[in-house]
């Protein structure tokens, strides 16, 4: 789809452009390192910074981004759904997920995308996972969960999805979304996670639990060795859930894999250039490479 140097990329080569990520908390974000390395690697005169934007300051912060002529930005916890009323145009990926994680600003117009949809599914496709008859446990019902449901709805043969969340009302919204997209889903309380985990082929953590080295909400005794455990939290790289899954000898998928895939897609939307994935990986892992 995108040649190494497209016309769009050529035209932006000498222009200084600014990109950013907005969210709260934001100090954990690896997106500035990832995108600045990518811009440098392809010789673009661009900078990417992180802004802490609390929920109550979203509207005023978006006004400031418009006023400064920002070229594009990523959106993270807790704004992926709340930002929708402020977006001028939604790409089909964002419409399907009803959540936005990437905004491309073109002549003052905000176009919203959801690159988490593709970013989430890529590591599963890379492992050639078969979804046929698959039973899934999805923990969390926020913006990322919406992208995950949108991505899973593109796969054939999924048997059932159990959705666990602290707040039932938010889980119910995701269940309605899943059923509108042709998936069978129902709710469980967090206290019953363990018994569902043991019966699940794919266990996904889409909550921020794990970011502060908390004890995992699923224990290794509740994970089958035949399961896949996918923790979308990427900092720390090895969360307690990933450690529990390794202890259970299950297959693990790290949050950084999704981070790289969604970040590459965002880079391509903004620049029209194929993402320099190796440079982005080097920014994440240093000279020692990927820890797989
Ligand atoms: P969000 O919209 O704020 O949703 C957070 C969800 O997690 C809600 O369902 C919330 O439950 C639940 N939750 C929050 N704290 C919890 C806790 N301590 N224990 C149990 N459940 C908790 O956030 P999001 O945008 O979906 O992001 C969620 C996480 O995914 C973040 O850590 C983010 O960094 C990560 N993420 C990673 C990638 C990647 O590329 N790897 C991409 C997207 C997101 P309630 O409904 O009860 O409040």
**8-12, 145-149, 230-234: least confident range:** 8-12
Interatomic CA distance for residues 269 and 93, integer angstroms: 13
Average pLDDT over residues 190-202: 95
Interatomic CA distance for residues 36 and 25, integer angstroms: 20
Question: In the prediction, which pLDDT does 27 show?
Answer: 92
Ligand 1: residues with CB < 6 A are 76-78, 80, 116, 119, 140-145, 165-167, 170, 206-209, 211, 232-234, 255, 258-259, 262
Average pLDDT over residues 200-229: 94
Interatomic CA distance for residues 48 and 18, integer angstroms: 6
Interatomic CA distance for residues 216 and 47, integer angstroms: 36
Question: In the prediction, which pLDDT does 49 show?
Answer: 97
Question: In the prediction, which pLDDT does 13 show?
Answer: 56
The residue whose CA is least distant from atom 7 of ligand 1 is 207
156 is an active site residue: no
Residues 6+ apart with CB under 8 A from 37: 276, 279, 280, 282, 283
Domains along the chain? 7-114+257-288 (3.40.50.10860), 118-253 (3.40.50.720)
pLDDT averaged over the chain? 94
Average pLDDT over residues 229-235: 95
Are the CB atoms for 147 and 101 separated by under 8 Å? Answer: yes
- Evaluate if residue 124 carries a pLDDT over 60: yes
Average pLDDT over residues 95-113: 96
Nearest to 116 by CA among 19, 282, 257, 239: 257
Query: Which is more confidently placed, 12 or 123?
Result: 123
Average pLDDT over residues 42-48: 97
**Tens digits of residue pLDDT in 247-288:** 999 999 999 999 999 999 999 999 999 999 999 999 998 877
- Evaluate if residue 219 carries a pLDDT over 80: yes
Query: Which is more confidently placed, 261 or 289?
Result: 261
Q: What is the pTM of this model?
A: 0.93
**18-22, 54-58, 217-221, 226-230: least confident range:** 217-221
Provide the strand spans (E) within the chain.
Answer: 17-23, 46-52, 72-75, 89-90, 102-106, 109-113, 135-139, 160-164, 185-188, 202-205, 228-231, 251-253
Using pLDDT thresholds of 50, 70 and 90, give the confidence band for residue 91: very high
- For residue 76, the CA-to-ligand 1 centroid distance in Å is 9
Interatomic CA distance for residues 52 and 55, integer angstroms: 10
The residue whose CA is least distant from atom 18 of ligand 1 is 209
Nearest ligand 1 atom to the CA of 116 is: 42
**Tens digits of residue pLDDT in 154-182:** 999 999 999 999 999 999 999 999 999 99
Of 80, 96, 111, 265, the catalytic one is 80
- Evaluate if residue 9 carries a pLDDT over 70: no
Question: In the prediction, which pLDDT does 289 show?
Answer: 72
- Evaluate if residue 6 carries a pLDDT over 80: no
Question: In the prediction, which pLDDT does 217 show?
Answer: 86
Nearest to 118 by CA among 89, 150, 87, 142: 150
Using pLDDT thresholds of 50, 70 and 90, give the confidence band for residue 5: low
- For residue 147, the CA-to-ligand 1 centroid distance in Å is 12
Question: In the prediction, which pLDDT does 15 show?
Answer: 82
């Amino acid at each position: 789809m995108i040649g190494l140097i497209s016309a769009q990329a050529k035209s932006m080569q000498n222009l200084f452009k600014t990109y950013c990520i907005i969210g709260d908390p934001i100090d954990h974000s690896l997106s500035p390192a990832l995108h600045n390395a990518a811009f440098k690697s392809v010789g673009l005169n661009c900078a990417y910074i992180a802004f802490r934007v609390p929920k109550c300051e979203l509207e005023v912060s978006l006004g400031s981004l418009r006023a400064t002529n920002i070229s594009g930005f990523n959106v993270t916890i807790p704004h992926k759904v709340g930002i929708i009323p402020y977006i001028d145009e939604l790409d089909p990926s964002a419409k399907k997920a009803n959540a936005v994680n990437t905004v491309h600003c073109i002549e003052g117009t905000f176009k919203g995308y959801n690159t988490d949809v593709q970013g989430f599914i890529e590591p599963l496709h890379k492992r050639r996972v078969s979804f046929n008859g698959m039973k899934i446990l999805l923990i969390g019902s926020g913006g990322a969960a919406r992208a995950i449901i949108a991505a899973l709805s593109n796969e054939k043969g999924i048997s059932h999805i159990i959705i666990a969340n602290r707040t039932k009302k938010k889980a119910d919204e995701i269940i309605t979304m899943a059923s509108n997209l042709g998936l069978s889903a129902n709710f469980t309380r967090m206290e019953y996670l363990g018994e569902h985990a043991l019966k699940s082929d794919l266990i996904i953590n889409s909550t921020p639990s794990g970011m502060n080295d908390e004890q995992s909400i699923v224990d290794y005794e509740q994970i089958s060795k035949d399961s896949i455990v996918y923790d979308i939290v990427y900092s720390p790289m090895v969360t307690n859930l990933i450690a529990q899954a390794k202890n259970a000898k299950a297959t693990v998928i790290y949050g950084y894999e999704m981070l790289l895939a969604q970040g590459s897609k965002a880079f391509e939307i903004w620049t029209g250039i194929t993402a320099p994935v190796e440079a982005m990986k080097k920014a994440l892992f240093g000279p020692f490479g990927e820890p797989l």
